[in-house]
Every structure is written in C-alpha cells, then in structure tokens.
Structure 1
Amino acid sequence: MQSNKALVVFSGGQDSTTCLFWAKANFEEVSAIAFDYGQRHKIELEAARHISQNAGVPLHVFKMDLLSQLTANALTSSGIEVEKEKPDERPPNTLVEGRNMLFLTYAAIFAKEHQINNLVTGVGEADFSGYPDCRNDFIVSLNQTLNLSMEFDYKIYTPLMWKNKTQIWQLADELGVFEIVRNQTVTCYNGIKGAGCGECPACGLRNKGLENYLAQKQ
C-alpha cells in the first residue's frame, strides 16, 4: 500500500534543499535523512540541520565514515585538492564512489522501517559532471533492485533529473524558497555557504545557473 509520506536524502546543498521543499509541496508528511560519511566540511551537515529545522522537517543523521576509508577523493581526503576543471578522460576527483547507491540503500532500509514508500533525491544528469551514480539509468535500476531486495514498493523521485542549474533556481523560486537556497545552502566543494568560493566546479555550475536565471527574470 502506497503512503503519502516521503523521505528526502538531504545534504544541505542547493539540489537537495530544492528537493526537500519540492517534497513538502507534493507529500503530506516529509522527513529527511543525512549521512556523516567523513566529508571534509561539517558545515554541510550544519546547514542541513538548520534548513530542515526551519522547514519543520525531521532530520535523521547517521554516521557512515567507512566510505571515506574505502575510497580516496577530494571531498573526504584533506590531502587531495579539488580539481578546478573536469578532466575529459575520467570523472572528477570529487567523485565519491558508490555514494548515491549507499545513501539510497540506507535510506530505503530506514524508509521501510517507517513505512515510507517514496524516496526523493537531488541527483540529475542535465548538468552532468561525470558522476555515473547521478544518471537516470542508475536510479531506475536501483529502484528495481531495492524493491526486489526488500519486497517493498519503493518509488524513487528525482525532481531535478532533467533540469540544468538555471531551471533548478527557477524551481526553487516557484517553490518560494529562492532566498533560502541562495543564502543558506552549502554547495561549494571548499565548504563555503551561499555563493561559495566561486572557483570550484560546483560553484561554477551554481553561480552560472543563478546568473542565467536572474537574467531571464529581467
């Protein structure tokens, strides 16, 4: 039996925050789940707690620091600098291997325990950064795998799958949370809230999308 409850995989960033408020607009009861996976910048979790509390959404945070021991990347290893440009021959060094698969799997386990059928995640492939676990094919496959593995009728929602950053800003505005996303989220790979450092690839995508959206509104 399908419930009208949703669980949002939440990081405190632009995309997942937009999805949090999208879920609030589309489901009667919303909760969020976040993971402490050894990320270098704990400000991400602080932002997640602050935003969810102000939104009236219960947030459940779980430690998953084994992930940072299994794979080396610029988001969990302080000795690896974030690449300013995406290499053509491989994914960027900010890829945390298996992260979305693990996040969604653990979220699904939690969701079944609380009889929540609907999972919401902010992954997308319109502004594709070379992360294989952001692709629609992966989400469709994992959705089927989760249903089979736990005999539970999950539905994974990806509201941003085909939206570029300009369109994501537009959605945040339509949801009435433009200023929250602009000022309170942490998308920057260097852990700076809001507009961020302005130099890392995440800031480049976010700020270019914002610039385009503001230009469209004029």
Structure 2
Amino acid sequence: MKTKNADRPAIKPVDAGALVLLSGGQDSATCLAWALGRYRVVETLGFDYGQRHRVELDARERVRAWWADRPEGGALGADHRLPVPAFGEIGDTAMTAEVEIEMAANGLPTTFVPGRNLAFLVFAGALALRRGLSVVVGGMCQTDAAGYPDCRWETIKAQADALSLGIDPSLSVATPLMFRSKAETWALAQELGGDDLVSMIVEDTHTCYRGDREHRHPWGYGCGDCPACHERARGWATWQESR
C-alpha cells in the first residue's frame, strides 16, 4: 500500500471516501479542510482516551459545525467518537494524568503516549472498512519539535502497510502535513480556506496540553507555556513574518 505525503498528495478518484482523524486541534482541522477538497465524502473520527485537554473534544464539534454551515462542507459526512481508556491505565503520562510536562529519562517528553497514533490508525482502519471508506487521513508530522516516534514517516508507512495486509489491500493512509513545518501548516490553511479558515482555526481549535481556554493569543487559546503552545505560537510568528 502507498502512503501519501505532503509533497505529493495523490488525489483519489472522485468516488473515494475518507476518514479524517479529527482531534480538534490545528493540524487535524487543516487535514479536514484538505480532505474536503479531494474526496466525495469525508467522515471524521475522534478519540476519548482520558486526555487532560478534554476541551479538544468540544473543539472538534465546533470545527465540524463551521464546515456544516458552508457550501464547501457539502462532502462532510458522519462523525464517530471512540473511547480508548486503556492509555491511562497502562501508565501515567502528562497527557492523561497530572504529570509534569518535561523531558523524561528516555529523551522523550512526558506528553508522549506510547502507541497512541499506532492504535488510532488501527481503529480508524477498521472503521473505514465498515463505512466503505478507502483513505484514512491523519495529521501526523515528523517535523514537530516534540519528536514523537509514532509521528515519523517510517512509522506511519509501516503501520499503513500493516493495515493494508491485515484489514484491506485498498486501504491507504494520507498524511498531508508529514513534512510541513507548523508555519507551513498555517500557510496551507490559508491556501485551502483563506482568512475565514485561518480565523476559525485560531478561534475554535484547541492545541494546548493543559486545556487552557482562558488565555487568548494571536494564534489561539492556550497556556502559552506548554510544548504544544510553543510550537503553535512559533509557527504562527514565522508564517506572519513570511507573508
């Protein structure tokens, strides 16, 4: 099976359907816009895994509602949400428990949830098969400063191959942000939906690991101090400087 990267996103036939992993954050909201311009029908999937920033589950509803009210959102199909509580039971991380956000002894940030993206792709592949969808779209990005191993191109490609072998040979995985910086992701949103889409991402999506919806910045809401906020803010500033 072939995975699609950001530089050469193969466009599937018009009768193809896609399942977008929609967390409610900037990246997944941009991926949804990307998919809506390419596929006949686009369904969305979110996961409740006991994340501390559960406000992202509300954010994904706002993102979908925004598209539902626009002509360009005509391809938007059903939404799905799956509970995956086992991540919190396996072991504490800064994403699922009151653990300090810092670098762990293994060289990875404590926000790393081992196997999260791999498991998400398995669930997404199984759901896509049942829904008659041939493409799973995810916002994994190996240029992210966090350096999560389950966001790397090699990891996603290997999992995509496994899905093809174990679920359906016609199933593919698209990662339109894989080789894009956060600044380039902002630029892609502008290209896909103009100022309206960028404004929606700023106001309605959520990235902050601490779930802060009180502090408003030019790039959106967040504590401004966690790695996710730093990455989003840095990308925004770089993009603004390049415009």
Which range, TM-score by smaller chain? over 0.9
**1:178-216 residue CA offsets vs partner (Å, 9 max, x unmatched):** 111111111111112423111111111100110111111
The alpha carbon displacement at 1:89 in A equals 5.2
- Within the candidate set 49, 52, 70, 2:90 is matched to 70
Structure 2: which amino acid aligns with 1:216? S
Contact 2:53 2:211 in 1 (8 A): yes
SS in 2 for 1:175: helix
1:1-218 → structure 2 map (5 Å cutoff): 3-56=15-68, 57=76, 58-78=78-98, 80-83=99-102, 86=103, 90-176=107-193, 177-193=197-213, 194-217=220-243
Structure 1: which amino acid aligns with 2:240? L
Contact 1:195 1:207 in 2 (8 A): no
Contact 1:112 1:152 in 2 (8 A): no
The alpha carbon displacement at 1:87 in A equals 6.1
Contact 2:52 2:209 in 1 (8 A): no
Query: Matched residues in 2 for 1:53 and 1:64: separation?
Result: 24
**1:112-134 residue CA offsets vs partner (Å, 9 max, x unmatched):** 00111100000011134121000
Structure 1: which amino acid aligns with 2:88? S
Structure 2: which amino acid aligns with 1:126? T
The TM-score with structure 1 as length reference comes to 0.93
Query: Matched residues in 1 for 2:105 and 2:118: separation?
Result: 24
> Across the two proteins, how many residue pairs are aligned to each other?
214
SS in 2 for 1:26: coil
Structure 2: which amino acid aligns with 1:65? P
SS in 1 for 2:139: coil
Query: Matched residues in 1 for 2:236 and 2:137: separation?
Result: 23
The alpha carbon displacement at 1:54 in A equals 2.4
Contact 1:74 1:93 in 2 (8 A): yes
Misfit runs of 4+, over 3 Å = 86-89
**1:25-63 residue CA offsets vs partner (Å, 9 max, x unmatched):** 111210100010011122110001121132133321111
CA-based RMSD:
1.7
